[in-house]
Amino acid sequence: MKTLRGAGELPPREVVFLAKRGNTVEKETWIIVGLGNPGLTYAHTRHNAGFEVTDILSRRWNAPLHKRKCKGLLAETTVGDCRAVLCQPQTYMNLSGECVEELLQWYKAPLDHLLVIYDDIDLPLAKLRVRKAGSAGTHNGMRSILAHVPGQEFPRIRVGVGAKPEGWELADWVLSRYTLREEQEAMAEAFQRAADCVEDWLTHGIEDAMQRFNRK
């Protein structure tokens, strides 16, 4: 693995990583997976926070999520000096790991080149939490991913969707939508900040993203 000559003078993630394949040279691949459930029935529910953020990135980067591969909807593009892959698994939440496992194998990407975005009922509404590794907690999508990948050492962005109100079943809560205008506005801003965080990770790395976005 080589870097361009003189690249040491650039910010951390602006270094262009190159890998030789035959007579060609390719950039390393960074994979961004947003978790959710496919279909209009689940669109804009609390459980689809990952889809919301990857939709924003798809629009920002002019990279439509229409390629079907690895049990997901994909968009492949270049962001700065990075080759980036956006993915929305189409397996439904509880089987998300099947998609992520295939992605890592297809793109031959190391685990720390994967970033997963998902909802979290244990965080206050619209709060972000960025981590470079960790367990799945109570999230079934992340449990599936950890069952299919070789470790916990990959970054993730958790988007707070608020705690389950008393009297609600958990499944009903995460599959509900934001009904109050204040909630809708707060979450719209949170999704934009999460997209900003992804771009910061691609440019400067996970430590910088954690410092910037965990304190907001």
Residues classed as catalytic: 47
- H or E stretch at 157: strand 156-160
Q: Report whether 43 contacts 88 (CB < 8 A).
A: no
Q: Quick one: tokens of 125?
A: 């509404």
Distance CA 142, CA 155 (A): 12
CB atoms within 10 A of CB 188: 13
Q: Name the β-bridge partners of 79.
A: 82
- Beta strands (DSSP E) in 8-71 are 17-21, 24-27, 29-34, 67-69
Residue type, 147: A
Distance CA 21, CA 104 (A): 18
Residue type, 98: E
